[in-house]
Amino acid sequence: MTTPTADSALPAPLVGVVMGSASDWSVLGPACDTLDELGIPYEARVVSAHRTPDWLFEYAESAEARGLRVIIAGAGGAAHLPGMLAAKTLVPVLGVPVPATLLNGIDSLLSIVQMPAGVPVGTLAIGKPGAVNAALFAAQILGTADPALRGRLAERRAANEAKVLGQTLPPQT
């Protein structure tokens, strides 16, 4: 099946970044940027639970054998993509609610977070902050078995800390 792709330049993806529609790319793109920054190979694909259900099953069922260790799944509206993926694989799934409807992502958040007991989906914040945190969470999961990656994460935290500590407030007007 041919779907839009935007893979990392590195070979052998460890993280699958999937989204329900190409219209979700502006939200999920920052997750890929964060994975790039940390040197984590990924693949990015459009996989729709309701428009391409057979492709969803194929993607989830082949994920582990293809070497994926974490899946980041973003979707808007009813947002059943992360839960359906999680139902078909033991690879951990991190769900990112996308603000795609008049409900601004609250619908997606509630749909993704309310998985019944038995099939977990790790749910992040709505929109780009959730996408970036999903990438960082994926990095921390991979980092449990990759000391060099843990080091890069620690450097990133230290750089953010130094940035905040170096901030000064402008004079009040």
**Nearest distance from residue 57's CB to ligand RP5, in Å?**
16
123 binds ligand RP5 per the rule CB under 6 A: no
Sequence-distant (≥ 6) Cβ neighbours of residue 67 within 8 angstroms? 12, 13, 14
Contact 108, 99 (CB under 8 A): yes
Is 108:136 a contact under the CB 8 Å cutoff?
no
- Site mask, ligand RP5, residues 24-53, x = CB under 6 A? x-----------------------x-----
Of the residues 8, 21, 89, 111, which one makes contact with ligand RP5 according to CB under 6 A: 21
CA distance 105 to 102: 8
- Judged by CB under 6 A, the residue of 8, 14, 18, 20 near ligand RP5 is 20
Closest approach of Cβ 23 to ligand RP5, in Å?
Answer: 3
84 binds ligand RP5 (CB under 6 A): no
Nearest approach, Cβ of residue 17 and ligand RP5 (Å):
13
Tell me how far CA of residue 145 lies from CA of 18, 76, 109, 140, 148, in angstroms.
24, 32, 30, 9, 9
